[in-house]
């Protein structure tokens, strides 16, 4: 699905949204298209947006990337963090939940079902397993979201880039 980069009125990147949502913001007069394609959509009345900017400023509290299964898998490159293979993937709690392990970025990792079963209710150390990387919270929300769409929309991303590095 085609994605659109949404900027605050200050040009600060806010989010990546679907083109349908972007179109809605344009139609309602809440945003302007700052990068667009020549192709027209909505019966030829609107250009397909690539980057849109809100016409009003939204104050966003510190954005936190939600800890979801999909985000953990994406962070870990869809590879088991014990054996490095793809296979059937699951989410493993490094310190098992039954032993007080929390749902936090540094306690959950991608593990194949086989490694997960083998590890069972142990810590990696107790199970004699080694983690391939130290899990942590992805530092940059927007960059993380962007990396999910890198291949699908390389041309759009190239036109997002100047806004993404606006504050560099």
**Residue 83 in contact with Zn ion, rule: CB under 5 A:** yes
**Residue 94 in contact with Zn ion, rule: CB under 5 A:** no
What is the helix, strand, coil percentage profile of the chain, to 5?
Answer: 30, 25, 45
**Contacts for 83-87 with beta carbons within 8 Å, 24 or more apart?**
83/112, 83/114, 83/115, 84/132, 85/112, 86/112, 87/112, 87/113, 87/114
Cβ 33 to Zn ion, closest distance in Å?
45
Stretch binding Zn ion (CB under 5 A), from 2-10, 18-26, 105-113, 126-134: 105-113
Among 115, 129, 142, 146, binds Zn ion (CB under 5 A): 115
**Under 8 Å CB-to-CB from 9, ≥6 apart: which residues?**
53, 54, 55, 56, 57, 58
**Residue 129 in contact with Zn ion, rule: CB under 5 A:** no
Cβ 136 to Zn ion, closest distance in Å?
20
Quote the strand ranges of the chain, DSSP E.
3-7, 13-18, 31-41, 46-54, 89-93, 108-112
Gyration radius from the chain CA atoms: 20
**Residue 112 in contact with Zn ion, rule: CB under 5 A:** yes
**Residue 131 in contact with Zn ion, rule: CB under 5 A:** no
Stretch binding Zn ion (CB under 5 A), from 5-13, 59-67, 94-102, 110-118: 110-118
- Specify the residue, 52 or 79, whose C-beta has the smaller distance to Zn ion: 79
Among 19, 82, 141, 163, binds Zn ion (CB under 5 A): 82
Chain residues in the site for Zn ion (CB under 5 A): 80, 82-83, 112, 115
């Amino acid at each position: 699905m085609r994605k659109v980069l949404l900027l605050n009125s200050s040009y600060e990147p806010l989010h990546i949204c679907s083109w349908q949502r972007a179109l809605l913001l344009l139609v309602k007069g809440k945003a302007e298209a700052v990068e667009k394609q020549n192709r027209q959509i909505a019966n030829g009345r609107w250009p397909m947006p690539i980057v849109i900017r809100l016409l009003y400023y939204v104050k966003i509290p510190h954005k936190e990337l939600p800890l979801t299964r999909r985000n953990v898998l994406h962070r870990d490159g869809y590879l088991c963090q014990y054996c490095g293979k793809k296979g059937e993937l699951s989410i493993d709690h490094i310190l098992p939940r039954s032993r007080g392990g929390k749902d936090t970025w540094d306690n959950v990792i991608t593990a194949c079902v086989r490694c997960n079963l083998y590890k069972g209710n142990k810590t990696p150390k107790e199970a004699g397993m080694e983690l391939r990387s130290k899990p942590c919270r992805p530092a940059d929300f927007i960059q993380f979201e962007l990396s999910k769409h890198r291949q699908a929309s390389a041309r759009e991303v190239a036109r997002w880039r100047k806004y993404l590095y606006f504050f560099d």
